[in-house]
A and B are shown apart, each in its own frame.
Chain A
Amino acid sequence: MFKTLPIFFGFFLFSFVIARVNAQTVNVVVYVADIPHFTYGPLEDPESSVGLPTNAGEKIIFNAQAYDPESPSYYFIVCKTDEIISNAGHPPSCPQGMWCMSELTENGNNAKCEYMARIDDSEENDWFAFLCSFGTGYCSDSYQGSGSQGSPFYVNHPPEFISVTNNGSDYPSGLIVWSVKSFDPDVIGGRDRTKIFVCSSPSFSNGRCSDGVYCESELSSNNPTCSYRIPDIEKDNLHKAYVFLVDEHGMESQSSLQGVESSFGVNNIYPETMSLVLNQGRDINLFPNTKTLVKVTATVSDRNSCSQDEIKSVTASLYRSSVGYQGCKSIYQANNNYCYPSISCSLVEGELCEHPKDATLNYQCDIEVWYYADPTDKGTFFSTDDWKATLRVEDDNGFVSEREVSIGVEMNSLISFDLDSGIEYGELNIGQVIDPLSKETKIRSFSNVGLDAILYGTDLVNAGEYKISVENQRYALSKICFWDAFPLGKGMKYFDLDLKKPTKTFREKSIYWGIKVPENTVAGIYSGSNYLIAVKGDVSGW
């Protein structure tokens, strides 16, 4: 109501001083004194209004300029009510409380006073400004300025931080949500809205996280919430987080919970195996009398990181399918015929984990398979099986994933053997018969199947002219009577050798030979070839 335009030409105050009252004579002396008047202001600089209140703890600055025709200096005083007590030669005072008073200011100069807004101030605070002449002690009428820089000023109070919760933890790509219960005491123009910041460190200044920020909520008239999406590839860790509450004017809460730690966890996720391939998807051919390298390749993915401190071990087991992974999981189940368990795998050459860019790395497992590993192709004991591999990946938290190849491969039959280079019949008389069979040749199998044989030969010839017919040679598996043995022929003849499948080392069997030198044979050196063709035997003989 007192906010009117300042009048720069001043007001006159009539002071009636009755100097003396005489019964006969009354002398009235009238002094007409000038009072100080505002030439600028009063005003809040900067404004303190509903929209731009002054935060508690911050200063409200009042500015004014005065002209006092009676005195070289003046006081600028801002009172809580429209009352002033003047005091010539001394500072004036506000009987109902003062916001602030300037220092004694030279006439014509700018006067300024400051008030530090307090939490216990009301939200809305009227003010009345006076100018008081130092010399005369006369004070101006109260004046409240005008507009947004005029009375009243507004004090913004800190929001109250009541509680904070978050959903604790989630997996990579998951959402962590913080919810804060808050209350803001300022209601003029509508209750002030609040917002939260979730920072990665307990440092917060100028209404911002000093270091990293996980999230910042929208302004909310209720309880502010904000959420943070965990990156797609993130290590499983506890992440420290600190929550700060501010109101819509940027005033931080002064509650004890301000900056409270509200950390969250990134859950450990199971590693995953993809693109698991055994021997490039091709059937396995073994090499005789030694081990053959069989490769298992796979891509291992872990969204907690592909680094070696996350992926603790990658191992592969290779086994015949009816044995299964359960039958070939530990090294104690190892058997070179059907189970190669827990073989360590290594990174494919050139593979590097670029965390957090990559979640996957390619591994390869080199498995050395013995030549006598069980075959699974046609005509074998395990022809309904195939060979499979399972990759076992364990992370640093002991989370294990085990995956078997989608498609197994056949272990092909290997027929392989060694044989003495010839039969030493020695010098024989015409008509002589080696009876019983006594010339031994050894056949050693380096196969993964049981062996039978096909035998045939050529006539023995002497200088291309004379010959001993091939049928004069006979053979058997023991030193039996010559006449009970099998005669050799020029045509292929199947022979049940029944040489068993090697299971630890090679298997050996002897074939005994004999010959009858016909009566009409011309003396000389006879030579020829006997062929021993090893073939896969019937499984009953393995």
Chain B
Amino acid sequence: MKKNALILCLFFFILFPPCVYASFGISPSDFTFENIIPGETVEKEFLISRTESEKEARIVIEADVEGANQWIKVEPGVSFPILRGEKTKKMKVKVSIPEDAPLRNYEGFIVVKILEGEGTPGVSLVKGVGIAVNLITTKIEVNRLLVRKMEMPNVMKGDPIRLILTIENQGNKKSKPQKIEIKVYDIANNLLFEGEDLDFESIEPSLTKDITAEFKNNLIEGEYYAFVTVVFQDKPLREEKLVFNVKEKEESISEKTYDTGGKNYLIILYGLSFLVLIISLLVLKAFFISLKKKKMNNV
């Protein structure tokens, strides 16, 4: 019965082989910035993907955005290979709006084509995907930040408490949070101390960056909670409860390794020196013997 079923399956697959589709794609599919101040640069990352990676292919990019083609730059370039075995490739599009750019909408497409080997005789069909471009220039300043992630790694006793924020600047001016406040509690929810940090670097428009805030740490080993408030334009932008551990400092393992390594190194060095000495003595001995023989022959 089982055998019959297997034969049936094989027959089915011979008659109707499973289709393997070689799809080509891109994500996201738009390059939209609705508030760009002339003089600014905006950028966005794209993921090019393909399901079949048997052959090397070439990615070719063309911009068709009326009035803005010259402003568009692509990393790693307008033509680059996607190697055999590579299924994805990252691509960054940067648009630098000149200071004197007219205030208006710039619409069009950035076309990303994939050229896979030599064309077939006759009419070949070339695949491509279009990134819809919509750029709107303005003089109105927009300040908008989005805190995408907050992270508070464990710290060693005495080391500063670090808060890592992943922030996206969704506005059109260089910007940063006004301040970051933390309230640290022990595990029983007793407030231990409060702190704030005002000193971190600004983020360019359209970029997502990790910024780090630091706070003094006089805590003993243990587990703690931190209520974090990111303040932007006098308002809380994001609040979050995070947990972190303070750990005892351990003896530096690398130092130990180094010591051991040093000793090993010396042992090897001494061994080699001894070996060279023995060989030298043997060579000398051989030399004297041959010299003696020579003298004897002369005699």
Count class of interface residues, chain B: 35 or more
Total CB contacts across the A-B interface at under 8 A:
197
Q: Cβ of A280 < 8 Å from any Cβ of B?
A: yes
Q: Is the CB of A535 within 8 A of B129?
A: yes
Q: Does B47 contact A (CB under 8 A)?
A: yes
Provide the bound-state CA to CA distance between A413 and B26, in Å: 8
Q: Is A500 an interface residue (CB 8 A)?
A: no
Interface hub of A290, A420, A531 (most chain B Cβ within 10 A): A531
Q: Is A282 an interface residue (CB 8 A)?
A: yes
- Whole-angstrom distance between the alpha carbons of A378 and B128 in the complex? 21
Residues of B within 8 A of A412 (CB): 27-29
A447 touches B32 (CB 8 A): no
Chain A residues with CB under 8 A of B126: 529-532
A348 within 8 A of B: no
Q: Do A422 and B23 have beta carbons less than 8 Å apart? A: no
Q: Which of A360, A414, A533 contacts B25 (CB 8 A)?
A: A414
Contact A536 B30 (CB under 8 A): yes
Once the chains bind, are B223 and A525 in contact (CB under 8 Å)?
no
Render B121-164 as a binary contact track against A, CB cut-off 8 A, 1 for contact.
11111111110100000000000001111111000000000000
Do A418 and B24 form a contact, CB below 8 Å, given A527-B122, A533-B128?
A: yes
Nearest neighbor of B28 in chain A, beta-carbon distance: A412
Given A288-B25, A289-B23, A359-B187: A530 in contact with B243 (beta carbons within 8 A): no
A350–B209 alpha-carbon span in the complex (Å): 28
Is the pair A421, B125 in contact by a Cβ cutoff of 8 Å?
A: yes
B238 with A530: CB separation less than 8 A: no
CB distance A379 to B166 under 8 Å?
no
Q: Quick check: B120 and A280 within 8 Å, CB to CB?
A: no
Q: Does B111 contact A (CB under 8 A)?
A: yes
Which of B28, B187, B208, B238 is packed against the most chain A CB atoms within 10 Å? Answer: B28
Is A449 within 8 A of B29, CB to CB? yes
Instruction: Decide: A285 near B27, CB < 8 A? Known: A275-B242, A425-B123, A454-B111.
Output: yes
Contacts of B121 in A (CB 8 A): 525, 527
Return chain B residues, CB-CB under 8 Å to A287: 25, 49, 87-88
Residues of A close to B149: CB separation below 8 A:
277, 280-281, 407
Q: Which residues of A (509-542) have their CB < 8 Å from a CB of B?
A: 513, 525-536
In the bound complex, how far is the Cα of B119 from the Cα of A525, in angstroms? Answer: 14
**Is there contact, CB below 8 Å, between B32 and A378?**
yes
CB of B6 closer than 8 Å to a CB of A:
no
A454 to B129, CA, bound (A): 9
User: Complex formed: what's the CA distance from A542 to B246 in Å?
Assistant: 53
Inter-chain contact B25/A417, CB cutoff 8 Å: yes
Instruction: Tell me if A444 and B21 are in contact (CB < 8 A).
Output: yes
Q: Is B253 an interface residue (CB 8 A)?
A: no
Q: Which of B29, B132, B189, B223 contacts A360 (CB 8 A)?
A: B223
Please give me the residue from chain A that is nearest to B123 by CB atom: A423
* Cβ-based interface call for A406 (8 A): yes
Query: Could you mark each residue 460-485 of chain A with 1 if its beta carbon is under 8 Å from any beta carbon of chain B, else 0?
Result: 10000000000001000000000000
Q: Is B64 an interface residue (CB 8 A)?
A: yes
Asked if A255 CB lies within 8 Å of chain B CBs, one says: no
Q: Which residues of the other chain, A, contact B223 by a CB distance below 8 angstroms?
A: 357-360
A118 to B21, CA, bound (A): 101
The distance from the CB of A271 to the nearest CB of chain B, in whole angstroms, is: 13
Further contacts, 6 of them, CB under 8 A, given A530-B126, A531-B126: A290-B51, A379-B29, A415-B29, A417-B129, A444-B21, A446-B21
